[in-house]
Structure 1
Amino acid sequence: MAGRLEGKVALVSGAARGQGRSHAVRLAQEGADIIAFDICHQLDTVPYPMAVSEDLEQTAKLVEDLDRRILTREADVRDSAALQALVDEGVGEFGRLDVVCANAGIAGFAENTWTMTEDQWEEMIAVNLTGVWKTVKAAVPSMIEAGNGGSIVITSSTAGVKGMPGTAHYVSAKHGVVGLMRTLANELAPHSIRVNTVHPTGVNTPMIVNDFMAEVLSSDDGAINLQNALPVGMVEPVDISNAIVWLASEEARYVTGVSLPVDAGFLQR
């Protein structure tokens, strides 16, 4: 039985591990070939270990084990030239681009907004907001030229809907991608390219499950940021991936401009 994305090609950022790896695998399970990238080295303001080259290699193996094709490269979402080269290479190899999963992001925490360093603010905005714009900027022309329509799904957060103490830079970026999504949804509708955001609560990935975040989440401010209505501490990466697969599929062919929570009821608290 053919998958819901049979014959499609998907670009996934931040694909080395966590949500990005899960998205690449689920999209492949539904029949898509994958163009995947990740920075695969540590950033100065990120307080937990980031993905490495071996992580991206493992993602590639998991997709290939599904008998799907995958092109992987180490690239920084802040590097427009690298992103354009990757998209051009991927479209040249696979012949098309149908789905963009703008997932790459970092997390951080500060005591409060006014004592946050400029480096913390600027790197967060550069990766989590500007990096999404650069990913879309690189991908959209090929999607329009192909004339097949398509789907862009941007990973926001519950922090893209409400304020959270100690994370002004993260909250600002995640709110920002919602505005970007809404604008793109209008601009790309004539081309039958749909644009939506997903808004996860805490997800069981290395970005959350690490010593630094454990200490943050044990504080009063941090605990506020992870209180779900449903009786689960965190959701799994595949829970977000399933939403992305749906948004990328024909089942959601008239869904655009939507902010979709996958949050175990967090935003209802």
Structure 2
Amino acid sequence: MSGLAGKVVLVTGAGRGTGRVHCERFADEGADVIMVDHPDAEGDLHGTAERVEQRGRRAAVGAVDVTDRAEVAAAVDAGVRQLGRLDVIVANAGIHTPGGPAWQIDPREWQRTIDVNLTGVWHTVRAGAPHIGHDGGSVVIISSTNGLRGTAGAAHYTASKHAVVGLARTLANELGPRSIRVNTVHPGAVATPMVRNRATYRRLRPDLDNPTEADAAEVLTARNLLPVPWVEPVDVANAVVFLASDHARYITGAQLVVDAGLTQKTT
């Protein structure tokens, strides 16, 4: 048993993509979910809530920007009042904006990326950790393979994803005495709209005038040890659920990579 039945989980970026699948998987394990996403995704957020409720679990919804500390705190407080407790925090909200050489990145894109991907994570844990009870709990921060290695053309994203690893390691030290475990998950390419879009296809295949998904998949497959171009959102969600569960009760300060071997390929 995962030990998640009857627990309450906070998930940011819950409206779509992997965030929605995280919520579904936790509901499958018997947990209730506080879900947060940007006001622009409020319709998607309610769609995620419906999927959780269809699984017989309760859902609390907060449409807020994770860069606004007061908004995040208010949404988390309201969710805990509604669902009664908090046991797990999944800091999933993140963005990946167009890049280029580090010295050419628009300063506004740099700052927005840091604000969402790093400061938004801090806001989330700051708001949620005080609600986790004496029995302890788990914090899972979604980083990236870009949080483990340098990636040309994405200095802002790479810096933000490295930074949350340092934050997680510090939090693991600070929260360990309260029996709260803190870990990071590092996906490679995931089959979501963040990867499966025409802009990404053009970036991966600049040699073609109108590259298709299949053209891009060839490049992505060649980067991995396993013969696949990407992992599915549920593969990332399964890793998150594992780290949140009793099966990982003595794992903290760790980095779990879900990348089909991308970071280990040497040739």
Q: TM-score, normalised by structure 2?
A: 0.92
Give how far 1:73 is off: 1.7
Contact persistence 2:148–2:162 (CA under 8 A): yes
Distance 2:197 2:97 in 1: 12
1:186 aligned onto 2:173: yes
Distance 1:159 1:137 in 2: 24
1:158 aligned onto 2:145: yes
Gap runs ≥5 in structure 2: 208-215
Alignment of 1:55-204 (within 5 A): 55-143=44-132, 146-204=133-191
1:13 aligned onto 2:12: yes
- Percentage of matched positions with identical amino acids: 52
Give how far 1:87 is off: 1.2
Contact persistence 2:221–2:230 (CA under 8 A): no
Deviations 1:147-192 (A, max 9, x none): 1200000000000000111100000000000000000000000000
Distance 2:191 2:167 in 1: 26
Distance 2:220 2:27 in 1: 36
- SS at structure 2 position matched to 1:34: strand
Which of 209, 212, 233 in structure 1 is aligned with 2:196? 209
Partner of 1:49: none
Contact persistence 2:144–2:187 (CA under 8 A): yes
Distance 2:127 2:103 in 1: 34
Q: Amino acid of the residue matched to residue 70 of structure 1?
A: A
Gap runs ≥5 in structure 1: 42-51
Compared CA separation, residues 75 and 186, structure 1 to 2 (3 A):
same
Q: TM-score, normalised by structure 1?
A: 0.91
Q: Amino acid of the residue matched to residue 20 of structure 2?
A: R
Contact persistence 2:60–2:83 (CA under 8 A): no
Contact persistence 1:226–1:266 (CA under 8 A): no
- SS at structure 2 position matched to 1:261: strand
CA RMSD of aligned residues (A): 1.7
- SS at structure 2 position matched to 1:114: helix
Compared CA separation, residues 109 and 91, structure 1 to 2 (3 A):
same
1:266 aligned onto 2:253: no
- SS at structure 2 position matched to 1:189: helix
